[in-house]
Structure 1
């Protein structure tokens, strides 16, 4: 098959049944392999979805500068979409996040501006807003509040999952950083499957799923604030996962299934295995949001 644009690579990712991992109580786990997107992560979907709408509406053009605060995956998606649409991208990234993502963003032509580690994502957001205010032609996708974020997953990710499994989905497990993936997919599934349960995989130290604020090294999910795109009413259950459990899940995916997925993917697998201890004969869908290549310097394997 011949493609004409990198945008054609976005979406239609595989849904893989995990057959080699020991799953308790005759449950089945299906993994949505979002690392197969062209920039290596699920945020490619939102970036291309939003860019297309903005260009069509005339809100951005070849002279625009896209400015975004990101832990990395949105930054990568934005950098790739910026190439497609021929505009400049500037990404504000907290220092604590993956070096590999920073390298890849720069490789895709984006300018990366690091913000202090202790300010977290809120600090990166604040500095991005300050830059926007003083820069002509600058525009932000505002991933934490832009309703096209959950809409992209409602229209695309969720429909792909539903097309593959239909009403056979009993549980959907996903983390939340901006809330876009969780809210978009959960909303669609609840509209179409009467008894589906949507489970938030939340790092210990994140307040999205409740609990005390603390430090987590599970990049891309969890936060120290509740994003506007996070619809808490869609959560049926919260499973808290610590760093060690996420790393164990990551290693299981690699060594049992041959899946080289990232830290949040390991967290979602661990959450699914925990859930499986208390249910029987159910189908569970999890999100594998990005690739292990983004975390090689962390020596997790």
Structure 2
């Protein structure tokens, strides 16, 4: 396929049926390989779609400075989307998040500002607000409240999944940080077939959607999914069930994906695999779809996975 911009390679990622991991009870598990996007993740879609829509609406000007708080992957998507634009991009990232992701963001020309680990993503959001008040022509696309975040997945990711399986889907499982991908995909799938069950893969200690209060005080290191609050982009009414996953389980899932399937996907992908396998122990003869959101090399050294 000949392309004239690397952003044209975003979307239309493979959907992999797991063939070497033992899936019980006659079930089939499919993983949408979002790590195959050019900047290596699901949020390539989000960043590009939000920039496209902001340009169409006239929000962005030639002298605009975009300031965003991110765990890293949305930042990578935005950096890719703004590479050939006049916009300056400043990304605020908690200091303990993947150094590899931060280096990749810089490689695409964006600026990175770190905030203290103990403040988590809220600290990054607060710092972004401070910068927005200080920098002329600064604006935020607000991934945690921007309706174009879930729309990126409603109009593209979800339709790809549904088409690739000819609608033969019984369960969809995904994590949620901003909730954009979960909400956009789940909404579209349920519109096509209300009997599809959409389930949240959620780290221990996360309260997104109001779930998980029973593990108050637990601190998860599964980047990109989980949240202590519920962003506006997360539609909790779409959650049919929550599957809680520990860091240990997520790392086990990462190892299974790489050693059994040759899938070099990140820690949230390992969590989603383990959630899908938990579900597969409870149901029979079903098609279960999940998301492999980003690449393993962003975490492998810092997490000591291998």
Name the TM-score class by shorter chain.
over 0.9
Residue 259 (structure 1) aligns with: 263
Residue 215 (structure 1) aligns with: 219
Residue 33 (structure 2) aligns with: 33
Residue 192 (structure 2) aligns with: 192
How far the C-alpha of 1:136 sits from its partner, in A, is 1.1
Residue 7 (structure 2) aligns with: 7
State the Cα deviation string for residues 158-180 of structure 1 (Å, max 9, x = none). 01001111321000000000000
Distance 2:296 2:176 in 1: 18
How far the C-alpha of 1:84 sits from its partner, in A, is 3.1
**What is the RMSD computed on CA atoms of the aligned residues?**
1.0
Distance 2:139 2:156 in 1: 24
**Pair 1:249-2:237 in alignment:** no
**Pair 1:300-2:297 in alignment:** no
SS in 2 for 1:199: strand
State the Cα deviation string for residues 204-241 of structure 1 (Å, max 9, x = none). 01011322243000000001111111111000000000
Residue 226 (structure 1) aligns with: 230
Match runs of 1:107-122 below 5 Å: 107-122=107-122
Conserved 8 A contact 1:7-1:84: no
Structure 1: 4+ residue segments shifted above 6 A = none
State the Cα deviation string for residues 84-112 of structure 1 (Å, max 9, x = none). 32321100000111010011111111110
Conserved 8 A contact 2:204-2:212: no
Distance 1:120 1:34 in 2: 25
Q: Which of the numbers 282, 285, 292 marks the counterpart of 1:281?
A: 285
**Number of aligned pairs?**
301
Residue 147 (structure 2) aligns with: 147
**Pair 1:166-2:170 in alignment:** no
TM-score (norm. length: structure 2): 0.96
Distance 2:135 2:71 in 1: 22
Distance 1:240 1:118 in 2: 23
